[in-house]
Amino acid sequence: MTDLDPTALDPAAHDAADPLASFRDRFVPAPDVVAYLDGNSLGRPPALTAERIERFVREDWGTRLIRGWDEGWWEQPGTVGDRIGALALGAAPGQTVVADSTTVLFYKLARATVTARPDRSEIVLDTDNFPTDRYVIEGIAAERGLTLRWVETDPAAGITPEQVAAVVGPETALVTFSHVAYRSGWIADAEAITAIAHDAGALVLWDLSHSAGSVPLRLDDWGVDLAVGCTYKYLCGGPGSPAFGYARRDLLPSLEQPIQGWTGRRDPFAMAAGYEPEPGVRRLLSGTPPVLGMLPLTVSLDLLAEAGIDAVREKSLRLTDYALDLADAWLVPRGVTVASPREHDRRGGHVTLVRPGFADLLTPLWERGVIPDYRAPDGLRIGLSPLSTSFAEVYAGLAALRDLLD
Ligand SMILES: Cc1ncc(COP(=O)(O)O)c(C=O)c1O
């Protein structure tokens, strides 16, 4: 940090030069919050969300009643899914749906892949993937008598193509990782890893929870088979908003997901005997579309469309660069370690700072209106949501952390 121009730390200069600065005023104000540094866990609500929910209850639900299902609600898993696909995933229409929770959709897609590869006996995953992914895969392995091939990943970095190449083989049915690691923010080389898995005849399922709405994705171009992700993080869908799931178009006919509900059936209103999956992406659905749950998402997707994912990524990198500069100037000399990649092409939208005893600082930080995320052991995640976060917030938040360390 010694060769850094001191004015480079001035947050006002960064905010003045930020082309997305005005988006921040379009989120619900939180007067007691000095620095919201947890946008990678729960995005803030756009102000328009409250009005849209109120209007939906009064007009759409209130007056259209059950007729609403014929006026767009029924199609929403696909229409909202396509919108996420176009704005955030690099996915052509007809491959993305919104449904379930990430955990449930992850289970459905992972289980479908092992059914599609019946003569293979192994699943490749890594030791530092988000717990729900690991637990679900452990459950599927137990259910189907499969062997898990664990890749040991560095919690301060993440999965590499070389590590994947070393474990995949003729027995690999499924390979699954997070694109952006929940702990370190490491961006995996999804294109290279997908190609390595394909060379071995395996399918790949990516968890995009920490990527979608923050890091541009090109699922179609990368040949990705399957993906899932949360919508309540950078996509600002609200607490517990439903997940999105992607399946490559040409793979769809061979995908049999295990929760055979009526919504995923061909011609569901025929109420016919026996399950026959819908030919397209709706075969990933199981039950009634979560129309109310998708509503906030439609508002925040409008903001993303207006800003554009490339501008979001550009600001995201500026924010994380700035957080790292402040960390180097103030926190590293106080015993803090940066446990995230420094290189732009490997760094997602959050950075993790590590120091023994950080757990004890969470309450005093919250008391000062500074809200980061804590991940055991000893990691403070600084999650910077580009549309709602200012450089002044990053400055204030890390200054509070510095003062507490003193
Ligand atoms: C990478 C990742 N996958 C999955 C989940 C959780 O999924 P769910 O919405 O089912 O709780 C999270 C939650 O933080 C996550 O970070």
How far is Cα 402 from Cα 327, in angstroms, rounded to an integer?
Answer: 9
Q: Is residue 217 in a domain?
A: yes
Residues 258 and 344 in one domain: no
Domain with 342 in it: what CATH number?
3.90.1150.10
228: number of Cβ within 10 Å: 30
Show pLDDT as tens, one digit a residue, over the chain (406 residues). 444 565 689 999 999 999 999 999 999 999 999 999 999 999 999 999 999 999 999 999 999 999 999 999 999 999 999 999 999 999 999 999 999 999 999 999 999 999 999 999 999 999 999 999 999 999 999 999 999 999 999 999 999 999 999 999 999 999 999 999 999 999 999 999 999 999 999 999 999 999 999 999 999 999 999 999 999 999 999 999 999 999 999 999 999 999 999 999 999 999 999 999 999 999 999 999 999 999 999 999 999 999 999 999 999 999 999 999 999 999 999 999 999 999 999 999 999 999 999 999 999 999 999 999 998 889 999 999 999 999 999 999 999 999 999 9
Distance 113 CA to ligand 1 centre (A): 20
Pocket of ligand 1 (CB under 6 A): 101-103, 130, 132-133, 178, 182, 207, 209-210, 230
The pLDDT score that the predictor gives to residue 2 is 41
131 is in an annotated binding site: yes
Residues 270 and 374 in one domain: no
Residues 321 and 370 in one domain: yes
Residues 260 and 373 in one domain: no
Residues 353 and 296 in one domain: no
Residue to substitute in 209, 211, 234, 374 for testing ligand 1 pocket (most ligand atoms within 8 angstroms of CB)? 209
What is the helix (H) or strand (E) element at residue 199, kind and residue range? helix 190-199
| Among candidate residues 249, 275, 304, the one where a domain is terminated | 304
Largest CA distance in the chain: 72
Owning domain of residue 12: 6-47+308-405
Q: Is residue 79 in a domain?
A: yes
CB 218 within 8 Å of CB 252: no
Residues 397 and 313 in one domain: yes
Give the total number of structural domains in the chain: 2
Structure-block tokens of residue 74: 């029924």
The DSSP secondary structure of 303-342, one letter per residue, reads HHHHH-HHHHHHHHHHHHHHHHHHIIIIIGGGT-EE-S--
Distance 230 CA to ligand 1 centre (A): 6
| Among candidate residues 281, 304, 327, the one where a domain is terminated | 304
Residue to substitute in 41, 132, 228, 232 for testing ligand 1 pocket (most ligand atoms within 8 angstroms of CB)? 132
How far is Cα 9 from Cα 196, in angstroms, rounded to an integer?
Answer: 42
How far is Cα 7 from Cα 9, in angstroms, rounded to an integer?
Answer: 5
The pLDDT score that the predictor gives to residue 8 is 83
Helix/strand/coil for 378: coil
Residues 375 and 284 in one domain: no
Q: How confident is the model over 175-192, as pLDDT tens digits?
A: 999 999 999 999 999 999
Distance 41 CA to ligand 1 centre (A): 9
| Among candidate residues 243, 271, 304, the one where a domain is terminated | 304
Pairing of strands 172-178, 122-126: parallel
Exposure of 53 in the CB half-sphere (CA atoms within 13 A): 14
How does 283-304 read in b/e, with b if 16+ C-beta sit within 10 Å?
bbbbeebbbebbbbbbbbbebb
Q: Is residue 291 in a domain?
A: yes
Residues 37 and 79 in one domain: no
